[in-house]
A and B are shown apart, each in its own frame.
Chain A
Amino acid sequence: MVQLLQQMLVGTVTSLKIFALTLIFSLPLGVLVAKGRMAKNPIVSSLVNAYIMIMRGTPLILQLIFVYFAPYYILGASYDRFTAVIVAYVINYAAYFAEIYRGGIQSIPKGQFEASEVLGFSKIHTFTHVVTPQVIKRIIPAMGNEVITLVKDTALAQTIGVAELFRVAQNASARQFSTMPIFIAGIFYFIMNAIVAKSFDKLEAKLNYYN
């Protein structure tokens, strides 16, 4: 039992790595994608839109397999499975985050931009000091949902053979002829998401000082 828990903790660390790395890269990348989606240049905006539609319109598991195997079939080169997972998740989640950011930015009243302009703020200052703080407050619920989904999506990494939590649990189940390890994995995911949900609630409460 102790050995099982130890293995599962190692798996959990891998899951958490996938989780953290995906967020670190996709959160900022989403800003760029959102900017591209809202670009005045119609070529840029429609290309970015096509990318978003593909990311949202096809299963993540399929994208994962594609990202891992496509370079092999096209270039004959294979690369690290873990890297493939991060690449696939980052480009997928950046698309989702971008759409959330875009919705948030477009929900900011026009008057906020106009007041900033008349006061002589630079575009960057308006973005960082007027728009972004208000966008963050507005998108917290949607971001919370997405991040919770990401915790659960880390389980898909096993598709290409990365030994994250769920893979470890499945292997243990097979060895022990018992569903117990899978049940325990469920508890692990639940706890991780309870922490995520709690963090988002806290953030939301913290930004509740204004409407």
Chain B
Amino acid sequence: MQIVSVTDLEKGFDGLGVLKGISFTLNKGEVLSVIGPSGSGKSTLLRCLTQLETVDKGTIEVCGDTMVSTDDKGEVRYAPKNILHAVRLHFGLVFQNFNLFPHMSVLRNITEAQMHVLKMTKAEAEKSARELLVKMGLEDKEKAYPCHLSGGQQQRVSIARALALNPKVLCFDEPTSALDPELTGEILKVIKTLAKEKMTMIVVTHEMSFARDISDRVIFMDDGLIVEEGKPEELFNHPKNERTKKFLQRYE
């Protein structure tokens, strides 16, 4: 079942094209990795999906709702506010640099949105947050503040925070890039577990062996376009496009 469908997505900053016509679909339970050189538009793509940026052109459909569409005349139309809010909650986003709330305890970081957005009671929220913390291996950290955690622990809290809203799709924007190399493993393990549980995910990453390992499908982006797309075995072992080949050579 298709849950995200993106068609001819374009986005520029000050007249400079960053996404130049992106189309792809995502099925329920699928893990899609997005790889590509820095500056190719990977973050911008995630930011358009999560409404942190508005698109210049194209259509995005999520779980049967049209978040944004473009008519024949090129006029971009976003859905009404209530639908945009619902669509926003379909996506979870894990940032490269965590963006935890520093003044809130670990537990509060997770329960804040559950209580304010999902209107859960404090008791319900804390129960579900504690379950997530166990899952992230952080059950003893609920009272800690983000500044007292390692980068890897902070990133796991931010994954728990995103999961707390039960998103349909979890997006990761280079979740290990801000971490010391010895800490990347713990995050990759968590994402792998989520993949096994059939969480639908879009993972922007520079960890090629990881992408090969967990993905159902891989997209290679360069200069605002999807240059190549395929199963990980195909794309990594037998890249068809010259640019893909050149890019992958750097990681050998």
**B145 adjacent to A118 (CB under 8 Å):** no
- Min CB distance B31 to A, Å, is 20
Taking CB as reference atom, which chain B residue is nearest A207? B103
A56 at the interface (CB under 8 A from B): no
Q: Does A121 touch B at the CB level, under 8 Å?
A: yes
A114 touches B85 (CB 8 A): no
Q: How many residues of B contact A (CB 8 A)?
A: 25
If A119-B165, A129-B112 touch, whether A114 touches B52 (CB-CB below 8 Å) is yes
Nearest Cβ distance between residue B53 and chain A, in whole angstroms? Answer: 10
A-side contacts of B57, CB under 8 Å: none
Kindly list chain A residues whose C-beta atoms are within 8 Å of the C-beta of B93: 118
Bound CA–CA A134/B102 (angstroms): 8
Q: Are A211 and B52 in contact (CB under 8 A)?
A: no
Q: Which of B52-95 contact A (CB under 8 A)?
A: 52, 85, 88-89, 91-93, 95
Residues of A within 8 A of B97 (CB): 111
Give, as a whole number of angstroms, the nearest-CB distance from A122 to chain B: 8
Q: Is the CB of A120 within 8 A of B102?
A: no
B40 at the interface (CB under 8 A from A): no
CA distance A115 to B109 in the complex (A): 11
- Report the bound CA distance from A18 to B87 in whole Å: 52
Classify chain A: how many residues form its interface, as a range: 20 to 34
| A residues 81-126 touching B (CB-CB < 8 Å) | 109, 111-112, 114-115, 117-122, 125
Cα–Cα distance between A117 and B165 once the two chains are bound (Å): 13
Selected A-B contacts with CB under 8 Å, 24 pairs: A111-B95, A111-B99, A114-B52, A114-B99, A115-B95, A115-B99, A115-B100, A115-B101, A117-B51, A117-B88, A118-B50, A118-B51, A118-B88, A118-B93, A119-B161, A120-B165, A121-B113, A121-B116, A121-B117, A122-B116, A125-B116, A130-B101, A210-B145, A210-B147
Give the 7 A-B CB pairs with smallest separation, nearest first: A111-B99, A115-B99, A119-B113, A120-B117, A211-B147, A210-B145, A118-B93
List residues of A whose CB falls within 8 A of some B CB. 109, 111-112, 114-115, 117-122, 125, 129-130, 133-134, 137, 209-211
